[in-house]
Structure 1
Amino acid sequence: MLSEVIATRYVTPLREGGSLPGIVEADDLGTYVMKFTGAGQGRKTLVAEVVCGRLAQRLGLRVPDLVRIQLDPVIGLGEPDQEVQELLKASGGLNLGMDYLPGSIGFDPLAYQVDPAEAGRVVWFDALINNVDRSWRNPNMLVWHGDVWLIDHGATMIWHHNWPTAQAAAGKPYDASDHVLAPFAPDIAAAAAELAPRVTEELLTEVAAEVPDEWLVDEPGFDGPDELRRAYVDALLPRARTVHERISLEARPKAPSGPPGWLTDLLGERPHQKKSGDR
């Protein structure tokens, strides 16, 4: 289960996304990117972050650790930005945090090489969760210590905004032609062979169990959080078996070939790597 911490200081907002997440410090001395229940997208964004983030981790993909964060609205009294102050006031109680990765930078497909195997795993996973927010315009990936990390899964599983369509959504195709990793010749078949058998009913049940009850109550058509958790399992399980057959990858300009990692710059050095003798 997700560990729980208490927010002790609001540091700064992150204005890249519409939900206005913020960087906070917590009582475990950790620093987190916090997503709020009072944001415009509501608690389903946090549900998606937990289900998809934890599923990705269980499948061996890199996602920052997730925690439950308790927020006292009084923490926002000294915040000068009225919009942020109102968001903090509206988000008292349980929220979601993602481990802050200091020194990470946004993924740039023109500067970082991804091998077909890893590209295939990410594209296959995004197809499974129907992620519409991993395009070259908004990659939602970071490079940290030379590795690619996946972030921001709030815009996934769009069927949970209209549950009567969930079962039909399992058979829908996934257009990956605009995916940020499309130019890296993702090996979808290998990813499906590796990952699909691991997406079992037991795994999905365990992942769904990590969503707090508070974010699952009062959902129309469901008799409580456990029944709603089961709906996430029932939507994802059949999709995992066959989604690879319905991933479309239109011809895109191919990325330069080479080993995974930073592409060599004009000086013949890889950026953000220590040179010999550096401390």
Structure 2
Amino acid sequence: MLKEVTATRYLTPLREGGSLPGLVEADDFGIYVIKFTGAGQGRKTLVAEVVCGELARRLGFRMPRLVTVDLDPVLGLGEPDPQVQELLRSSGGTNLGMDFLSGALGFDPLAFPVSPEEAGRIVWFDALVNNVDRSWRNPNLLRHQGDLWLIDHGATMIWQHNWPTAETSAARPYDASDHALATFAPDVAGAAERLAPLVTADLLDEVTAEIPDVWLADEPGFETPDDLRRAYARPLLARAAVIAERITGIEEGK
């Protein structure tokens, strides 16, 4: 299970995204980027962060460590920004945190070369989870100590927003023409050969087990959190075997 920490101090909002994440200090003395259950996108965004982030880590990608952050709304009482106050008040309980990578830089495709192998791995993974938010306008990639790190997977697995059509939605191709790494001749075929066999039912059971029950409760059409966990796993398992052949918009590396 994800490590559980308790927020002891709210430090500052991060205003890059619409969900207004922030920095908090926790009872383990760590500094975390926190994403709130009370943000406009809701708990499904946090579920996507956990599923995709933990899957990426198990497939060998560099991902900031994820934790759950217990938040007392009283931490917002001293905040001068009414928007931040409201967000903290509406997010009591279990929220999502990720390690703050001090000194990390946003990815600039003009300044940081990426090998076809690494580009292919990332494009294949984004196709697997249908990540629509890794474009050249908003790469959601960081350079930290010379390495490329993946962040921000809330805009993935769009089929979770309409479960009756999930199977049809998950079968659609992935257009990578706008991907942040499309110009690096990504070797998608090589990535699929290495990564697709690793995406097994057992691995997805392990990944979905990391989702807190409280984020899965009361989902229409599902009796238990485990039923919903299986619904998250099924499209990914099916997609892993075929998605490399359904990626459009790029010219692969040789």
Pairwise TM-score range, normalised by the shorter structure: over 0.9
> Which residue does the alignment assign to 1:275?
none
Is contact 1:45–1:154 with CA below 8 Å preserved after alignment? yes
Question: Are residues 1:153 and 2:190 paired?
Answer: no
Is contact 1:2–1:67 with CA below 8 Å preserved after alignment? yes
Following superposition of structure 1 onto structure 2, how do residues 77-88 of structure 1 map, counting pairs within 5 Å? 77-88=77-88
Question: Are residues 1:5 and 2:5 paired?
Answer: yes
SS in 2 for 1:149: strand
> Which residue does the alignment assign to 1:192?
192
Larger % of helix: which? 2
> Which residue does the alignment assign to 1:98?
98
- Looking at structure 2, the residues matched to 207 and 169 of structure 1 have their Cα atoms a distance apart, in angstroms, of 21
Which amino acid counterpart does residue 57 of structure 1 have in structure 2?
R
Is contact 1:33–1:99 with CA below 8 Å preserved after alignment? yes
- Looking at structure 2, the residues matched to 238 and 224 of structure 1 have their Cα atoms a distance apart, in angstroms, of 22
Following superposition of structure 1 onto structure 2, how do residues 144-223 of structure 1 map, counting pairs within 5 Å? 144-223=144-223
Is contact 2:70–2:94 with CA below 8 Å preserved after alignment? yes
> Which residue does the alignment assign to 2:134?
134
> Which residue does the alignment assign to 2:24?
24
Which amino acid counterpart does residue 249 of structure 1 have in structure 2?
G
Q: TM-score, normalised by structure 1?
A: 0.89
- Looking at structure 2, the residues matched to 17 and 155 of structure 1 have their Cα atoms a distance apart, in angstroms, of 12
- Looking at structure 1, the residues matched to 231 and 69 of structure 2 have their Cα atoms a distance apart, in angstroms, of 25
- Looking at structure 2, the residues matched to 183 and 16 of structure 1 have their Cα atoms a distance apart, in angstroms, of 25
**Large movers: runs of 4+ above 3 Å:** none
Is contact 1:177–1:251 with CA below 8 Å preserved after alignment? no
> Which residue does the alignment assign to 1:46?
46
Q: CA RMSD in A?
A: 1.1
User: For the pair shown, which has the larger CA radius of gyration, 1 or 2?
Assistant: 1
- Looking at structure 2, the residues matched to 25 and 45 of structure 1 have their Cα atoms a distance apart, in angstroms, of 22
SS in 2 for 1:70: strand
> Which residue does the alignment assign to 1:64?
64
Which amino acid counterpart does residue 162 of structure 1 have in structure 2?
N
- Looking at structure 1, the residues matched to 154 and 203 of structure 2 have their Cα atoms a distance apart, in angstroms, of 20
Shift of the alpha carbon at 1:57?
0.1
Shift of the alpha carbon at 1:46?
0.3
> Which residue does the alignment assign to 1:118?
118
Q: How many residues are matched? A: 253
Consecutive unaligned residues in structure 2, runs of 5 or more: none
Is contact 2:159–2:170 with CA below 8 Å preserved after alignment? no
Per-residue CA deviation, residues 234-270 of structure 1 (Å, 9 max, x unaligned), is 1110000000000012469x9xxxxxxxxxxxxxxxx
- Looking at structure 2, the residues matched to 14 and 142 of structure 1 have their Cα atoms a distance apart, in angstroms, of 15
SS in 2 for 1:112: coil
Percent identity, aligned pairs only, is: 71
- Looking at structure 1, the residues matched to 122 and 89 of structure 2 have their Cα atoms a distance apart, in angstroms, of 36
Which amino acid counterpart does residue 158 of structure 1 have in structure 2?
I
Consecutive unaligned residues in structure 1, runs of 5 or more: 255-279
Shift of the alpha carbon at 1:41?
0.2
Per-residue CA deviation, residues 134-179 of structure 1 (Å, 9 max, x unaligned), is 0000000000000000000000000000011111123210000100
- Looking at structure 2, the residues matched to 89 and 241 of structure 1 have their Cα atoms a distance apart, in angstroms, of 43
- Looking at structure 1, the residues matched to 136 and 230 of structure 2 have their Cα atoms a distance apart, in angstroms, of 33
- Looking at structure 1, the residues matched to 161 and 21 of structure 2 have their Cα atoms a distance apart, in angstroms, of 21
- Looking at structure 2, the residues matched to 33 and 42 of structure 1 have their Cα atoms a distance apart, in angstroms, of 17
